Structure 1
Amino acid sequence: MKFSILALLPALISGATAAPKPAGTLAKRDAPKVYLAGDSTMAKNGGGAGTGTEGWGQYLAYSLDIEVINDAIGGRSARSFTNEGRFQAIIDVVEPGDFVVIEFGHNDGGSLSTTDNGRTDCFGDGEETCISPTTGETVYTFVFYEVEAGKALQAKGANVIMSSQTPDNPWETGTFVYEPTRFVGYAKTAADAIGASYVDHGQYVADRFEALGATAVDAFYPNDHTHTSPEGADVVSAAFVKSVLCANDGLAAHVKNATSSVPGSCV
């Protein structure tokens, strides 16, 4: 992987300032930024350019008074985002006071028994390890990858928000069914392990989709049961904003909307 498991707390390099800062002081920029780390459900173009889909991260900026940098990319898991150096790229540029939203789960499942797609995490919620049957790589758990990235980001002074994965179309069968995957619980475990914020984005999306009904929600999924249309992505983004407001997370101070103006109820 691109950032060392043994050296995940990078040195803090102080920039030149008009007046020297006390040792150990981290200077905040005038306005924080929000970095998004996730998969296609969050990423620009959603399921791919030209597919008529969009990731919810593309709409978050409309609800905030600070800049949003969407670093999510399709097909990634907590493991592959780590191994490709994508977490490290955010760690390298994040500054004190910035926010980083981490949301994975759609690509983290599967088995490492006989093959390895490069995305599957080792099963478990702690420091369990597996050996890739394809490459011989030591593979860690979803929780481990998120915790290690979160600790490195916190060491740079960032506010980390662990967000649970969004659901696939819960109306797909004609009857509303929402059964959170194990990665929803894993995201909270990772947040608790490092004292990061946690929002149950998946539950907030599910509640909104149940209220909107099958006809409306089915139209949000033009190609499959995972990737949303622009209209669906907008609803999913609003659900994230609602979860932040209800949790009274630090990011809530930068939300333009009052809690009562965002559809849905706090859970």
Structure 2
Amino acid sequence: MKFSVLALLPALIASAAGRPAENLEKRATPKVYLAGDSTMAKGGGGSGTGTEGWGVYLPYSMNIQVVNDAIGGRSARSFTNEGRFQTIIDAVQPGDFVVIEFGHNDGGSLSTTDNGRTDCFGDGTQTCTSPTTGETVYTFVFYEVQAGKAIQAKGGNVIFSSQTPDNPWEGGSFTYTPSRFVGYAQTAAKAIGAAYVDHGQYVANEFQALGLSTVTSFYPNDHTHTSPDGANVVAAAFVKGVLCANDALAPFVKNSTSSVPGSCI
């Protein structure tokens, strides 16, 4: 089951709207749902073995249940088109949290071919036509805003989390240049008044502090998918961002801000 991508198009970047479900009674014990790609998913999704997604380690820092619905190879577009956002929306109850983090599979070009994952370039209401299927393709921001508004309408809390970096030590020296999807995630958050965690920057800061040797060991097969140890660090970086922002999820974190490595940004 898919939800309509057309209904919200005219008001995509409207000022943050009030949440129609604000007055609903909240679930006594909320859940955290995770929507993302292989870097968040169980098993890590990378080629070969020895990888794990950071979402697997988030439950160790939470006092509430974490439901990891991330799946490898997905983008904001394909997660929408496959009905995976809708599955989460259907499950959400008032007071629940949904962490949305995409970007690794959203790039590419729609000029000649279409892998079903690439979004239309832009940060608003731009549209493209798939050269392969004729599908109208929307922007990363549109897909995220659409899902976020539907979650808010159910009384859920949305946290847009920025794309985590590929190995910033891959070239032998530290380099982190955020992709455009980092900024797009923040744009989506502002559009609907949702929480935002710059997960990419928090991870980059911690990886810089850990150094070349340690971080290189976190990438057993390629420069994107982390080992279990790496995933644990990435999960802690997300927790740090939540605590530093002191958003609505923070009271459900077991750790204190000072006990999680790194500094607030």
User: What range describes the TM-score normalised by the shorter chain of this pair?
Assistant: over 0.9
Deviation at 1:6, TM superposition (A): 4.4
1:66-81 aligned within 5 A: 66-81=64-79
Cα 1:96–1:49, aligned 2, differ >3 Å: closer, same or farther? farther
Measured in 2, the distance between the counterparts of 1:49 and 1:93 equals 31
Unaligned 5+ segments in structure 1 are 9-22
Select which of 156, 159, 179 maps to 1:158: 156
The equivalent residue for 2:216 is: 218
The equivalent residue for 1:5 is: 5
**Do structure 1's residue 237 and structure 2's residue 235 form an aligned pair?**
yes
Deviation at 1:28, TM superposition (A): 2.0
Measured in 2, the distance between the counterparts of 1:36 and 1:235 equals 17
Deviation at 1:27, TM superposition (A): 2.6
The equivalent residue for 1:120 is: 118
Residue by residue, what CA displacement relative to the aligned partner does 1:39-98 show, whole Å, maximum 9, x if unpaired?
000000002596110000000000010000000000000000000000000000100000
The equivalent residue for 1:140 is: 138
The answer (yes or no) to whether the contact 2:42–2:56 under 8 Å persists in 1 is yes
**TM value normalised by structure 2:** 0.93
Unaligned 5+ segments in structure 2 are 9-20
Select which of 41, 44, 48 maps to 2:42: 44
Moved more, 249-258 or 48-57: 48-57
Structure index of larger Rg: 1
Deviation at 1:186, TM superposition (A): 0.1
Cα 1:50–1:31, aligned 2, differ >3 Å: closer, same or farther? farther
Measured in 2, the distance between the counterparts of 1:34 and 1:214 equals 33
1:1-267 aligned within 5 A: 2-6=2-6, 25-48=23-46, 51-267=49-265
Structure with more relative contact order (C-alpha pairs < 8 Å, separation 6 or more):
2
CA RMSD of aligned residues (A): 1.5
Deviation at 1:139, TM superposition (A): 0.1
Cα 1:6–1:131, aligned 2, differ >3 Å: closer, same or farther? closer
After TM superposition, the runs of 4+ consecutive aligned structure 1 residues lying more than 3 A away are: none
Measured in 1, the distance between the counterparts of 2:153 and 2:45 equals 33
The answer (yes or no) to whether the contact 2:120–2:127 under 8 Å persists in 1 is yes
Q: Give, as a single letter, the amino acid of the residue that structure 1 aligns with 2:212.
A: A
Deviation at 1:26, TM superposition (A): 2.0
Deviation at 1:207, TM superposition (A): 0.2
**TM value normalised by structure 1:** 0.92
